[in-house]
Structure 1
């Protein structure tokens, strides 16, 4: 978290980190307990990333791209599907047969979303926005990730202003829960 650069560089770095967790999951045999640890770490990063995109990236997409509303709606729908999978995955341990099915679904959903953003959305945004705006959005996204929730909340609002108002409080509660349970930490 907090890599630096403009919004696109920041989000692409997040994508690589999540892919690294997915690779670690895939490298372990079914039922290995570290698969749950890596799934939790991926979920933490994905939720923070999604909240930041919904608060700052997608409003910019809506404002600056000719087909921005349709693009932002599609990306937000992708997030909703992934968030529900993460919520279902949260209830499974690595030995649960449902874990393998859900983690495979999540990886497929996220990889498709990443490819779409990196091949379609990001190049359009880079072409439409001045560099200083992309830099400013990068700073806002980094700040939002620091305060964002770390657990999936499928019923939470995903559009401003409600998402910007609620995310910091929910994020604080999630981080307290994580600290108390050790979630996302190798131990």
Structure 2
């Protein structure tokens, strides 16, 4: 039987947790693992934002939790970019990594206790399988992306997911600043 979207998302969460453990416990692997982590998390986030969050909000009634999750994605993107820019051998790396781990762990716990159970309860198995295909295709499309590779259209999707209006006329930089500001509040 094919995995549904909830299962795929949770598989990614376990892989991110494994990468966090590797980064914490094996400093000699950091230089090679940071790009793996940034690629996986970026692809995962873009796939959730485009394929999953709109359905979770509109069809599963998870509007508030999706908006909150989207804000956490924006924060994670900022922390991920900071980690990618930090020398793995520097004294700052452990602190930057821990900030990312804390933020993503919090996000995963909330998503797995609120959004994902709501999707499992309120969406049919067939719909979850459809979303799994869309999630996997989007994740594959974005594999290799880094946090800074985000497009204006993806930023607009983030704004819709976070229920932020009045941003359609903003250019990419202004939109990104607005989203970061809103997520920080």
Give the TM-score range, shorter chain. Answer: 0.7 to 0.9
Please give the alpha-carbon distance, in whole angstroms, between the structure 2 residues aligned to 1:78 and 1:154. Answer: 18
What is the CA-CA distance between 1:13 and the residue it aligns to?
A: 0.5
Uncovered stretches (5+) of structure 1, i.e. residues with no partner: 164-187
Alignment: residue pair count: 156
Q: 1:48 maps to what in 2? A: 43
2:134 aligned with 1:140, yes or no?
yes
**Which of these residues, 85, 93, 97, is aligned with residue 99 of structure 1?**
93
Q: 1:59 maps to what in 2? A: 54
Q: 1:117 maps to what in 2? A: 111
What is the CA-CA distance between 1:122 and the residue it aligns to?
A: 0.7
What is the CA-CA distance between 1:126 and the residue it aligns to?
A: 0.6
1:54·1:158 contact (CA, 8 Å) conserved in 2? no
1:51·1:158 contact (CA, 8 Å) conserved in 2? no
Q: 2:10 maps to what in 1? A: 12
2:82·2:96 contact (CA, 8 Å) conserved in 1? yes
**Larger displacement relative to structure 2 (126-135 or 56-65):** 56-65
Q: 1:82 maps to what in 2? A: 76
Provide the aligned C-alpha RMSD in A.
2.1
Give TM-score, length-normalised by structure 2: 0.77
Give TM-score, length-normalised by structure 1: 0.76
> What do the CA deviations read for 1:96-132 (whole angstroms, capped 9, x no partner)?
2222111111111111111111111111111110100
What is the CA-CA distance between 1:15 and the residue it aligns to?
A: 0.6
**Which of these residues, 129, 148, 155, is aligned with residue 153 of structure 1?**
148
What is the CA-CA distance between 1:161 and the residue it aligns to?
A: 9.7
